[in-house]
């Protein structure tokens, strides 16, 4: 688990992690809060999405 303060510090690094937002549609639509530069990925599409990206970059899945 990554705390918000730790994530904020990590996001300003030269090579920040890839943030994928995997919240349910209802949660995503209800809460208009977004992490800057995050990518919306449906939960059932995470494996396929990650298969399309080269390994080596840290990834954080945001789900709440």
Q: What is the pLDDT of residue 17?
A: 93
pLDDT tens-digit series, residues 2-53: 898 999 999 999 999 999 999 999 999 998 889 988 999 999 999 999 999 8
Q: What is the pLDDT of residue 44?
A: 92
Q: What is the pLDDT of residue 20?
A: 95
Angle at the Cα of 16 from the Cα atoms of 13 and 22, rounded to 5 degrees = 145
Q: What is the pLDDT of residue 55?
A: 86
Q: What is the pLDDT of residue 32?
A: 86
**Domain that includes residue 24, residue range:** 4-62
pTM of the full predicted structure?
Answer: 0.80
Say how many domains are in the chain: 1
Encode 33-54: b = buried (16+ Cβ within 10 Å), e = exposed: eeeeebeebeeeeeeebeeeee
């Amino acid at each position: 688990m990554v705390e918000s303060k730790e994530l904020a510090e990590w996001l300003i690094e030269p090579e920040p992690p890839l943030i994928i937002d995997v919240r349910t549609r209802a949660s995503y639509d209800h809460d208009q809060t977004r992490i800057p530069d995050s990518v919306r990925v449906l939960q059932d599409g995470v494996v396929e999405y990650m298969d399309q990206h080269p390994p080596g970059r840290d990834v954080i899945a945001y789900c709440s």
